[in-house]
Amino acid sequence: MAKYIFVTGGVTSSLGKGIIAASLAKLLQSRGLQVTIQKFDPYINVDPGTLNPYEHGECYVTDDGAETDLDLGHYERFLNIPTSQANNVTTGRIYQTVINKERAGDYLGKTVQVVPHITDEIKRRMMLLGNSGKFDIVITELGGTVGDIESLPFIEAVRQIQWELPEEDCVIVHLTLIPYLNAAKELKTKPTQHSVRMLSQEGVHPNVIVCRTEHPINEEIKRKIALFCNVKPEAVIEAMDASTIYEVPLKMLEEQLDVTVLKKLHITNYAPPVLDKWNDFLHKLKNPIHTVNIGLIGKYVELQDAYKSILEAFIHSGAVNQCKVNIINVHSEFITADNVNSQLQGLDGLLVAPGFGSRGVDGKIEAVKYARENKLPFFGICLGMQMAVIEFARNVLGFSDAHSTEMNENTSHPVIALMEEQKGITNKGGTMRLGAYDCSIEANSLAEKIYQSNLISERHRHRWEFNNQYLNEFIQSGLLPTGKNNKTGLVEIVELKDHPFFIGVQYHPELKSTVENPHPIFVSFVNAAKDFQLSKKG
């Protein structure tokens, strides 16, 4: 039987519930328990797949092809185990299920209501992973902030679960903010008191209060919070700002968040935490020997969350190389043939980011050309790979209007195109290639050297594909398809002959990079950037 931990948030959003949940999970895992984390989001979208990155940051894709909240990326990066569709549920999905059942007549003429029908469906999904028999502990992060209208059904479901389960099978962790008033030189506990009271009015009583703060919380403040929030002082946990999110598990270990939770769950047979790999990573991260400058060419660069997994993958791969990776954000919309040299000079590597639509595409093509001609290490992801193909077609093969039919349906050289079977499907998302696909890698290629393997599996999220009608022309001129899907023949990896490091991938390697398994392409790319820098210095 699994036990359940619920993580709620109070006072304000952006407190880092996902990181606290992932850190607690990491500690429990490091003590030998099987743990998973799931996120329940209060919005009406069935999944974040249709959300603009400006709205919701990156859309994280799982092996089973679910388009999910970016917090699932943190869960995977911390725990080093894959998540799935079951790990992310939205209000939209809950309602969709209930409404489908209602249309099918499953409620036998009853009035369908928020309580019990919606809350029952929430509860069923909250217990789903726990009932799989695979986990000792399931952590559920509730999106939104206590007091939001839209979170109410989730809170009500948690209330019922807390009431239904034996006391020792359920813990509520409430994450809150303790603001510091500079004028008064004081930390203030009132907002926390209010948010806990609000939660209590809804019938949910937190067992542990985790306090985000910019200043240390002394014993007196802990006692005050404990008294007003009806928990023991040792259940008030300080969560000071950390220099990196990867330090948070260690801070939580010091504060004994894991032990406090385990005590409440009556789990006694746990081992001392094994965090050797984690500590080794942190040590390398904090003590870099080199620094490289990598240009990130994208159209959402002003919004850090839009490229979350890419940025984290650089942190993992930088640490392996004992190298600080400075990300230089370059807005693709502002790169032109005239300014490309001045915009990109001084970089040690160039990553052209994924994306949809035509905005900023010309700048991306200019950036690829610069990397190809200047032998600058290049890494193109998804749209970035497609741009590399288009650039090569235009400037090497001489097809001056070559394009993807996503941007120009009438191009005379559709080197990136929709496959026949995709045409005619209009439902957004309906034609998207999503989730894990196998890819065979050619012998003696850069890809083989990077992966040390000839068969890999990577995650996809795109519609358009390399157009195989042009395969021979590309091969003859030196852009080689070194990774292919065996079943469909679709090109998944291209690399440039006679270039120290030039690789484009149709999939999203960033989604599989974790602290304990940094992604090999990112690791090799950072290494190539280091070499490039050295060669410049001569």
Contact region for ligand GLN (CB under 6 A) — 247-255, 457-465, 492-500, 515-523?
457-465
Scan residues 57-116 and list those touching ligand GLN (CB under 6 A). none
Look up 508 and say whether it is catalytic: yes
CA 308/CA 366 separation, integer angstroms: 24
Tell me if 225 sits within 8 A of 236, measured CB to CB. Answer: yes
- Name the minimum Å distance from CB 382 to ligand GLN: 3
Tell me if 505 sits within 8 A of 388, measured CB to CB. Answer: no
Scan residues 155-184 and list those touching ligand GLN (CB under 6 A). none
Contact region for ligand GLN (CB under 6 A) — 30-38, 134-142, 441-449, 459-467?
459-467
Question: Which one of the listed residues 460, 462, 508, 519 is annotated catalytic?
Answer: 508
Contact region for ligand GLN (CB under 6 A) — 5-13, 139-147, 336-344, 461-469?
461-469
- Name the minimum Å distance from CB 433 to ligand GLN: 8
Residue 484 in contact with ligand GLN, rule: CB under 6 A: no
Q: Kindly state the number of chain residues that form the binding site for ligand GLN, as judged by CB under 6 A.
A: 10
- Name the minimum Å distance from CB 30 to ligand GLN: 34
How remote is the C-alpha of 75 from its chain's centroid?
A: 8
Pick from 212, 316, 463, 530 the residue near ligand GLN by CB under 6 A: 463
Scan residues 340-359 and list those touching ligand GLN (CB under 6 A). 354-356
Q: Which of 36, 24, 22 is nearest to 77 (CA)?
A: 22
Residue number, 22 or 72, with CB nearest to ligand GLN: 72
- Name the minimum Å distance from CB 351 to ligand GLN: 12
Scan residues 268-307 and list those touching ligand GLN (CB under 6 A). none
**Can you give the length of the chain in residues?**
538
Q: State the residue for tokens 């595409």.
A: 361
- Name the minimum Å distance from CB 218 to ligand GLN: 48
How remote is the C-alpha of 110 from its chain's centroid?
A: 41
68 pairs with which residues across the strands?
60
Q: Which of 221, 354, 228, 63 is nearest to 237 (CA)?
A: 221
DSSP class of residue 149 equals: G
Site string for ligand GLN, 367-386 (x = CB under 6 A): ---------------xx---
Question: Which one of the listed residues 211, 229, 382, 439 is annotated catalytic?
Answer: 382
Residue 406 in contact with ligand GLN, rule: CB under 6 A: yes
Residue 459 in contact with ligand GLN, rule: CB under 6 A: no
Q: Pairing relation of β-strands 290-298 and 349-352? A: parallel
Pick from 413, 461, 484, 519 the residue near ligand GLN by CB under 6 A: 461
3-state secondary structure 379-425: EEECHHHHHHHHHHHHHCCCCCCCEECCCCCCCCCEEEECCHHHCCC
How remote is the C-alpha of 45 from its chain's centroid?
A: 18
Residue 462 in contact with ligand GLN, rule: CB under 6 A: yes
Q: Which residues contact 13 (CB under 8 A, 6 or more apart)?
A: 144, 145
Cβ neighbours, 10 Å, residue 203: 13
Residue number, 27 or 383, with CB nearest to ligand GLN: 383
Look up 170 and say whether it is catalytic: no
Pick from 278, 464, 507, 525 the residue near ligand GLN by CB under 6 A: 464
Residue number, 4 or 522, with CB nearest to ligand GLN: 522
Phi, psi dihedrals of residue 175, rounded to the nearest 5°: -100, 130
Cβ neighbours, 10 Å, residue 167: 11
Residue number, 61 or 285, with CB nearest to ligand GLN: 61
CA 297/CA 310 separation, integer angstroms: 12
Residue number, 246 or 470, with CB nearest to ligand GLN: 470
The strand order across the sheet containing 414-417 reads: 403-404, 414-417, 465-466
Q: Which of 64, 7, 67, 10 is nearest to 40 (CA)?
A: 7
- Name the minimum Å distance from CB 337 to ligand GLN: 23
Contact region for ligand GLN (CB under 6 A) — 159-167, 245-253, 276-284, 456-464?
456-464
Phi, psi dihedrals of residue 417, rounded to the nearest 5°: -150, 170
Residue number, 121 or 406, with CB nearest to ligand GLN: 406
Give residues in contact with ligand GLN (CB under 6 A).
354-356, 382-383, 406, 461-464
Catalytic machinery residues: 382, 508, 510
